[in-house]
Amino acid sequence: MNVGVISMRYTRALLKYATLNGDADKVYAEMGVLAQSYIDVPRLRTSLDNPVLSDDRKIQLCETACGGSVCDSTRNFIALVLKSGRINLLQFMANSYVDLYRKQNNITRGKLITAVSVSSDMRERMCKMVEERTHNRVEFVTEVDPSIIGGFILEYDNNRLDSSISATLRRTLQQLNVQ
């Protein structure tokens, strides 16, 4: 059976269960932390796949990877996934839950990359601009990347607005080489 199909079945069930229990927002935050934990700690996957590790220890490890203290919906979900022998798919389920929750709640991810840190006022203006264009709530992150020299790069949905000095210099050099 397809990993994506299995993951989505569990994910949809978790979203429905968490929504009924009033935990959908908490589970969203915990699944986001869990998904990031898989990226930050590559040994997490191998530890959870280890047959020597007891189920109680695996549950404890998953809860820690979710940020420590988890809500009942997350705890019950992890126990179900473990009991049904699908713990190897937990990373996919966490990512799928985050995506499904965002889609259901009209949330767009936005990212602003600048050469130096920006003021909260500038961050808010960019966030509002993305909200107006997408008509969605925006989860906005900022990143500092000195290699862009100046200006900014704004990313959201499948859009990318690159107004950085490094990109302008690259385009200018390409035009000079062509002529």
pLDDT for position 26: 98
118 and 59 in a common domain: no
Q: Given pLDDT bands bounded at 50, 70 and 90, which one contains residue 52?
A: very high
In whole angstroms, what is the distance from residue 77 CA to residue 162 CA? 41
pLDDT at 179 over 60: no
The CATH number covering residue 125 comes to 3.40.30
In degrees, rounded to 5, the angle at the alpha carbon of residue 148 between the alpha carbons of residues 145 and 152 is: 85
pLDDT tens, position by position, 119-142: 999 999 999 999 999 999 999 999
* pLDDT of residue 85 exceeding 60: yes
Return the pLDDT at 170: 92
Instruction: Summarize pLDDT for 1-22 with one digit per residue, the tens.
Output: 578 899 999 999 999 999 999 9
| Token pair in block for residue 36 | 């990031």
CATH number at residue 21: 1.10.520.20
pLDDT at 108 over 60: yes
Q: Note whether 74 and 147 are same-domain residues.
A: no
Residues 92 and 170 in one domain: no
Inter-residue contact 47 to 53 (CB < 8 Å): yes
**Structural domain for 91, as ranges:** 3-103
Give me the number of domains the chain comprises: 2
- Give me the pLDDT at residue 142, please: 95
9 plus 83 within the same structural domain:
yes
- What is the pLDDT averaged over residues 86-92? 96
59 vs 178, more confident:
59
Do residue 96 and residue 122 come from a single domain? Answer: no
The pTM of this model reads 0.85
Cα 104 → chain centroid: 15
Mean pLDDT, all residues of the chain = 95
User: In the predicted model, what is the mean pLDDT of residues 98-105?
Assistant: 97
Residues 73 and 116 in one domain: no
**Residue 53 and residue 89 in one domain:** yes
